[in-house]
A and B are shown apart, each in its own frame.
Chain A
Amino acid sequence: GESVGLHLPTLSVQEGDNSIINCAYSNSASDYFIWYKQESGKGPQFIIDIRSNMDKRQGQRVTVLLNKTVKHLSLQIAATQPGDSAVYFCAENIHNFNKFYFGSGTKLNVKP
């Protein structure tokens, strides 16, 4: 399934399916992007990052895609598990400027 991260939408997927979470970022000068996962009652945790000189980066079960032309970022989670249930945020940064701007988040709900 897919979702656009506006006003905390919820994406519900079945365990084992792939998830795609989307994010539109605002500043064309941003050159570093991070996806964070926030579980209930906890602080955001780093998942994966990507720099603007790349358009794809893969981690363990996660892939981030960057489309600078349309200022769009996506997080793909393969074989989604119940432990992946959380709110996911994208964050953008301009290199060496000590400020990250966060998107509004998408809640991922994994059904067993």
Chain B
Amino acid sequence: DTAVSQTPKYLVTQMGNDKSIKCEQNLGHDTMYWYKQDSKKFLKIMFSYNNKELIINETVPNRFSPKSPDKAHLNLHINSLELGDSAVYFCASSQPGRATNEKLFFGSGTQLSVL
């Protein structure tokens, strides 16, 4: 069973389109995240949700809109895609406050290519 699963794995689209990436975790964690990894492998946090509530928004353009229908799901919708949005997007989850589960568990990533 995959702990954090995200779909699709690859997403190729034209500039100006709107696309969504879905993420689900079966670890029972309260907190979920979206991270962006650029071409130099730098990982940067975008959003964090705790039990469906947005708690971190790292000055991401408002073309990016996360949605958490329940604490096991965190989706990312991107409007009006731009060339600079091309990256690998990782979903992650954690359970802050429980000593053994504070670490982040990552999905396998969605490689977004905007043409």
Show the binding face of A for B, using Cβ within 8 Å.
7-8, 32, 34, 36, 38, 41-46, 49, 87, 89, 91, 93, 96-102, 104-105
Q: Are the CB atoms of A104 and B40 closer together than 8 Å?
A: yes
Interface residue tally of chain B, by bracket? 20 to 34
Q: A89, B106: Cβ atoms under 8 Å?
A: no
- A sample of 17 more A-B contacts (CB under 8 A), given A44-B106, A100-B104, is A42-B109, A43-B4, A43-B90, A43-B109, A44-B43, A44-B90, A44-B104, A45-B106, A49-B102, A96-B96, A97-B96, A98-B31, A98-B48, A98-B56, A98-B94, A102-B42, A105-B42
Which residues B33-55 have CB closer than 8 A to chain A? 33, 40-45, 48, 50, 55
Chain B residues contacting A49 (CB-CB under 8 Å) are 102-103
From B4, B40, B103, contact of A8 by CB (8 A): B40
Most chain B CB neighbours (cut-off 10 Å) among A43, A99, A101, A105? A43
Q: When the two chains form their complex, are residues A46 and B105 in contact, meaning their CB atoms are under 8 A apart?
A: yes
B84 CB within 8 Å of chain A = no
